[in-house]
Amino acid sequence: MKIAEKTVAHFHYTLKNESGEELESSNGHEPLAYLHGANNTLPGLEKALEGKEKGDKFSATLQPEEAYGEYQQGLEQRVPVKHLHGLPSKNATWKKGMTAVVQTEQGQRQVTVVKAGKFMVTVDINPPLAGKVLTFDIEIVDVRAATEEEVTHGHVHSADSSCGHDH
């Protein structure tokens, strides 16, 4: 079965920056699963996955506009320290360059610390990978038809989880 609209693709990936440095990888973890055609991944990645099938291995290099968008100047905000999540340990403190997670009206968002104070932190709300050319090394593990419920809800349901919708 080929990856197309209303299919669920399971794949392993390794994400690298322009200089070939590995940024993240699913190797050693469960493969990523996503519903194709529901805007659940980067536009360029979805295009690269289209038509692929189980066993395919390939690389896709995405320009910023196909990935996390161009970097935009002036997207800095001051946020109370208590709203930042993701410190590596209880005794750690926020420092310039660290990535944090904040809860917004649109859901969770990754931000980058620009300046850290005791009570307030200045963060850049551009996605940390905005403006970057990214390469994904992909291995398709499985492709299956999406269930009617997954198509209706617009995302994958795993066997052991519920998405919180009333059934």
Higher model confidence: residue 160 or residue 27?
Answer: 27
Whether residues 88 and 134 share a domain: the answer is no
Q: What's the structural domain count of the chain? A: 2
* pLDDT confidence bin for 166, thresholds 50/70/90: very low
Q: Does residue 105 form part of some domain?
A: yes
Q: Does residue 160 form part of some domain?
A: no
Please write the tens of the pLDDT for every residue from 59-118. 999 999 999 999 999 999 999 999 999 988 888 899 999 999 998 887 888 999 999 999
* In the block, residue with structure tokens 């109370």: 80
For residues 17, 21, 24, 25, the Cα torsion angle rounded to the nearest 10 degrees is 110
pLDDT number for residue 59: 97
Q: Does residue 165 form part of some domain?
A: no
pLDDT number for residue 115: 96
User: Structural domain of residue 24, as residue ranges?
Assistant: 7-68+130-153
DSSP 32-69: EEEETTSS-S-HHHHHHHTT-BTT-EEEEEE-GGGTT-
Which CATH number is 110's domain given?
2.40.10.330
Whether residues 29 and 108 share a domain: the answer is no
Beta strands per DSSP E along 46-106? 57-62, 76-80, 99-104
Please write the tens of the pLDDT for every residue from 124-164. 999 999 999 999 999 999 999 999 999 999 989 875 444 55
Beta strands per DSSP E along 19-119? 22-25, 32-35, 57-62, 76-80, 99-104, 107-116
Whether residues 97 and 51 share a domain: the answer is no
Whether residues 119 and 149 share a domain: the answer is no
pLDDT number for residue 89: 84
- In this structure, what token pair is assigned to residue 131? 């403006």
